[in-house]
Amino acid sequence: MRKKFVAGNWKMNKNFQQAEELLDELVDVVSAKAAPDVDVVVCPPFVFIEMALDICRDEQSRNVFSIGAQDVSAYTSGAYTGEVSAEMIASMEAEYCIVGHSERRKYHGETDTTVAQKVELLLQNSLTPIVCVGETLEERENGVLFDVIKTQLTDGLFHLQPMDFSHIVIAYEPVWAIGTGKTATDKQAEEMHKYIRSLIEEKYGKEIARKTPILYGGSCTPQTAPSLFAQPDIDGGLIGGASLKADDFVSIINSFGK
Ligand code: 13P
């Protein structure tokens, strides 16, 4: 059995007080109501990571859920004003980091080359990269969606040694589905997830392909998650908007097997 994952990407939302409120609420609902066999990750903005780690520790000092960052610098350290390094994230005891999100590709010049550099640094610091891939509407309509995903995977990830690749989580996020309310159909999502798994199998073999978690992201809601998560190659979700409401997020976590 593959691990089931649900990760929340808060993006640039909430101020300090609102973040604290949401984290308090999340700790309560996740510890009381969430399926225990699902790995839950919350990725707040950098400035709230320390607070998130403090709040999500239970009485036994275990984290109720894991904490991740939304991005990382492609550089190790030094004169890069405003950047945050993989070592900094790891030293705070966060465990995950999103890389290659389409918003970073679109607004901040992220490329498959920077994705590859960032993944390398995250792995060196024992952080788990959640690597996003996805096609635009135009690319889908032009029928090049599979080529686009293949290039993103090949250039961003397939340089890794099998041992390193086995620590990767992939998120398929069709750009046209992000924040639009237009969720991919179960069929569209499963078709791409299956294709991604076939590419991993071609490169790294059956065993690694079988074990790699592939998440779906893009307008995933408590309504759409159950049938998406029931698809054989969909192992969970990377959730934007719906991760900002504790009840919606926990409903999505509980969508497996429904
Ligand atoms: P939405 O769930 O808001 O569409 O965002 C998805 C996403 O980009 C998660 O990384």
Residue by residue, pLDDT tens for the chain (258 residues) are 788 999 999 999 999 999 999 999 999 999 998 888 999 999 999 999 999 999 998 777 789 999 999 999 999 999 999 999 999 999 999 999 999 999 999 999 999 999 999 999 999 999 999 999 999 999 999 999 999 999 999 999 999 999 999 999 999 999 999 999 999 999 999 999 999 999 999 999 999 999 999 999 999 999 999 999 999 999 999 999 999 999 999 999 999 988
Question: How many CB atoms sit inside 10 A of residue 257's CB?
Answer: 10
Cα 243 to ligand 1 centroid, rounded to whole Å? 9
pLDDT of res. 184: 95
Which of the residues 101, 110, 135, 139 is marked catalytic?
101
Cα 205 to ligand 1 centroid, rounded to whole Å? 30
Residue 92: burial class (beta carbons within 10 Å; 0-12, 13-18, 19+): middle
**Whether CATH 3.20.20.140 fits 4-253:** no
Please report where in the chains the tokens 């004003």 appear, as a residue.
Answer: 81
Which of the residues 135, 173, 190, 193 is marked catalytic?
173
In this structure, is the dihedral angle defined by the CA atoms of residues 100, 55, 25 and 58, taken in order, positive or negative? Answer: positive
- Mutation test residue for ligand 1: of 43, 97, 220, 255, the one with most atoms within 8 Å of CB: 220
pLDDT of res. 64: 92
CA–CA separation, 134 vs 132, rounded Å? 7
Query: According to DSSP H, which parts of 34-133 are helical?
Result: 49-55, 86-91, 102-107, 112-124
Dump the DSSP string for 178-234.
TTTS-PPPHHHHHHHHHHHHHHHHHHH-HHHHHH--EEEESS--TTTHHHHHTSTT-
* Structure tokens, 165: 């690749």
Cα 59 to ligand 1 centroid, rounded to whole Å? 32
Q: Are 218 and 184 contacting, i.e. CB atoms less than 8 angstroms apart? A: yes
pLDDT of res. 58: 78
Cα 9 to ligand 1 centroid, rounded to whole Å? 7
Asked whether 130 lines ligand 1 (CB < 6 A), one says no
Asked whether 86 lines ligand 1 (CB < 6 A), one says no
pLDDT of res. 1: 73
Q: Which of helix, strand or coil describes residue 169? A: strand
- Mutation test residue for ligand 1: of 178, 224, 243, the one with most atoms within 8 Å of CB: 178
